[in-house]
Amino acid sequence: MNSTNSKVQPIPKVALRGVSKQFRSKVGFVKALEDISFEVYEGEFLCLVGPSGCGKSTLLNIIAGLERPNTGEVLLDNIPVTGPGSDRMVMFQEPALFPWLDVFQNVIFPLKLKKGLKRQERREVAEFYLNLVGLSSFKRARVHELSGGMKQRVALARALAPNPKILLMDEPFASLDALTREQMYTELQEIWMKRPKTVIFVTHNPREAACLGNRVVVFTPRPGKVKAILKIDLGFPRNINSPEVAEFAQEITDVLKNDSSKQ
Amino acid sequence: MLPLMVFAVLCVLWESLVWVGVWPEYLLPAPSQVGKYLFKAVIEGTLPNAALVTFRRLIMGYLIGVITGVPLGLLIGRVELFRYTLGWIALGLQALPSICWAPLALLWFGQTEEAMLFIVVMGCVWSVILSTESGVRNVPRIYVWAARTMGSRGLHTWVMVILPAALPFIVNGMKQGWAFAWRSLMAAEIYITIVTGFGLGHLLHFARELHAMDAVLGIMLVIVFVGLLADKICFAPVERWIRERWGALKE
């Protein structure tokens, strides 16, 4: 068992400082997130685990700059986040591919918004990432012609193409069947090892978190608070079915179930 | 082939019923008489000329309706203030048959082409606005979010994301708007006489006054034919493209 991971460096890439969020609903204000603070380091794969409805998707949207916190702030390279930016690409639960574009046009979409790229360069980059996710032969396919797993792979290529510093993933594999999902874990790890990025990955599945994360932030149910931050001391690539991953998954599950909070 | 034969059989049946004398000729002329009128009117040029006049009005009014309707619909769909003002006006005026504008149109514009255009625009613009609005409102938020994280802002988001995402609705509204424009124009041409051009509606009106039912039926056929043609030439390819991209109604 490899112990430490060399990719983790002690520079906080993203820092959350006392982030809270509440929503107005029929019964009054509902607290979704309460006083969330943690750091994400450069090149780190950080998983956010919590029960459904603990506000972890909201937290990801706040880091993306799509939603604003009520209090607290998100720092990116020590600068407060005020809105979305292509330095933080998001992979949503649904692929969110544009149906009026074909696969290639979808992947090249963010590149057309990136300044300083020539036409030919854009095409090459898009081809590269389509190839990376193994879909170069589906360049001209329509979105609706793809399977769920293929759609998420296109979404991954689209998110990676503009070379963001940070990749935000919101349960991107939740809607896939078990076999495809396991394949995606392997592919994601391969891609991440080839092109290191800071990744924040939201999931409700402890095993998924144990398989992918350098560290795992465990949330309490409503309102979402940080319950514990666990370090997964395993080398990459990891196999989701290995006993080591299962052991860490058990540890995460224990923390999730445990009522008393520990840090 | 089979549908064609069905129509042929129906025509023969109609023809023979007229010749047998089930009802008098002045109530319902035979298809052959209608055909004779159509042939004569095409040779003389009255029918093509009238069709041209009508078509010009229709295209002009329709284009004005679409060009103003789509941006207004986008605006209503995205801006709360417009939604509760212009949106309500659109909803209300869509319920008003546009021929009701005829008295005001005549007062404001006189017996001119503008009066005609006004009635056509009033006929089609509201349904274009409302369909565009519901299209915009039905754009999944996730598309806009995805685009924004990729660096899309303002006009780019509108043109490259919201507009194409709303396209199925917009095309639907354009189709409906076309039908409304066509109906409005016919009503206007039958109701108002304008000396700068005699359209199909006028021909129909005069044919009625002359009690020439063969002409009435012939002109009605032309109107139906134009409507079908517009659908097949303009809308069907766009709808096919949308079906292909969005993957609805796969065969």
Q: What value of ipTM does the predicted structure carry?
A: 0.84
pLDDT tens track for A11-47: 688 888 888 888 888 888 888 888 888 889 888 989 9
pLDDT recorded at residue B77: 87
Q: Report the pLDDT value the prediction gives residue A259, as an integer from 0 to 100.
A: 61
Record the pTM: 0.80
Would you call B142 and A92 a contact, using CB atoms and an 8 Å cutoff? yes
pLDDT at A50 over 70: yes
Give pLDDT, residue A2. 45
Helix axes A178-194, A148-160, angle to 10 degrees: 20
State residue B250's pLDDT score.
42
Which residues of chain B have a CB within 8 Å of the CB of A66?
A: 145, 148-149
Q: Where are the domains of chain B?
A: 38-138+165-245
Which residue do the tokens 């002690």 mark?
A10
Q: Amino acid identity, residue A18?
A: G
Q: Could you give phi then psi for residue B33, rounded to 5 degrees?
A: -65, -40
- CATH class (in words) of the domain with range B38-138+165-245: mainly alpha
Distance, in angstroms, between A31 CA and closest chain B CA? 23
Do the Cβ atoms of B246 and A100 come within 8 Å?
Answer: yes
Per-residue pLDDT of chain B (251 residues; tens, 9 = 90+): 888 899 889 989 988 888 888 777 778 888 888 899 999 989 998 899 999 999 999 999 999 999 999 999 988 988 888 888 888 899 899 889 999 999 999 999 988 899 999 999 999 999 999 999 999 998 988 999 999 999 888 888 898 999 999 988 999 899 999 999 999 999 999 888 887 888 899 889 888 888 888 899 999 999 888 888 888 888 888 888 888 877 764 43
CA distance B7 to chain A (A): 39
Predicted confidence at residue A262, as pLDDT, reads: 44
Q: For residue A30, what are the CA distances in angstroms to A26, A69, A221, A241, B26?
A: 9, 14, 13, 38, 76
A57-85 mean pLDDT: 88
**What does the pLDDT look like over A177-222, one tens digit per residue?**
888 888 888 888 888 888 788 999 999 888 888 888 888 898 888 8
| Tens digits of residue pLDDT in A85-113 | 888 899 988 889 999 998 999 999 998 88
Residues whose CB is less than 8 angstroms from the CB of residue B47 and which lie 6 or more positions away in sequence, other chains included:
B38, B41, B203, B218, B219, B222
Rounded CA-CA distance A224/A58 in Å is: 10
A142/B149 CB distance under 8 A: no
Mutate: best of B141, B145, B149, B244, partner A, most A CBs <10 A:
B149
Please answer yes or no on whether A89 and B140 come within 8 Å at the CB atom.
no
> What confidence tier does A230 reach under pLDDT thresholds 50, 70, 90?
confident
> What does R_g of chain B's alpha carbons equal in angstroms?
22
Residue type, B238: V
